[in-house]
Chains A and B, each alone.
Chain A
């Protein structure tokens, strides 16, 4: 069964600290993996996209990694800011059909 699992479910860190969010998937055949940021009360917004051949992709303080062999991805946030408080959603696309699988997200709270 195609699944995307994220951990932890929620995370609280102090402003200025780093954190890493995890995404494991069993989707096959794999096309690409995106990380979305969803602020409270708003729709998700894409942060990064990685295809099978890419190991890492950065977007400012956000760095995503992909290990296609172990089917794991991580999103690393450096020097967190209060505005990073949001849900982060891992989304995997299949290459064989018009289908994408959403993870349930990690809710990140940054405390001053």
Chain B
């Protein structure tokens, strides 16, 4: 089992460009999450999907959109990247929402210039 995979590992964007971060899990989990991690701050929830077909905003959703493509895949889209979105992005999954252990992917390091 690969667990949670993310692509790409690194990305550099210019301000205003768009891109999609991909995430897939092979553990048959119901819930999936997107976080960003900035220096000196805890992981902050951007969006989550409690189950296939549903998505909800987290703590910092502005500037992002998500798609739960199927049970395995959950993508994060930046429509018009801004320097404030420079961060490390982590995807995670869990069997059930919130209280279950979350399994994290390796992260995507995004720089917006």
**Residues in chain A within 8 A of chain B (CB atoms):** 4, 9, 31-32, 34, 41-46, 49, 89, 93-95, 97-105
Contacts and interface: CB of A to CB of B under 8 A. Distances in A.
4 smallest CB-CB distances across A and B, nearest first, come from A43-B104, A102-B42, A98-B97, A98-B98
Contact of B43 (A34, A89, A93): A89
B105 A43 contact: yes
Contacts of A43: 4, 90, 92, 104-107
A105 to B, nearest CB: 7
A88 B98 CA distance: 19
Contact-residue size bin, chain B (C-beta under 8 Å from the other chain): 20 to 34
Interface of B: 4, 40-45, 48, 50, 56, 90, 92, 97-99, 101-102, 104-107
B97 to A, nearest CB: 4
A105 B42 CA distance: 7
B106 A42 contact: yes
A100 B102 CA distance: 11
A34 B105 contact: no
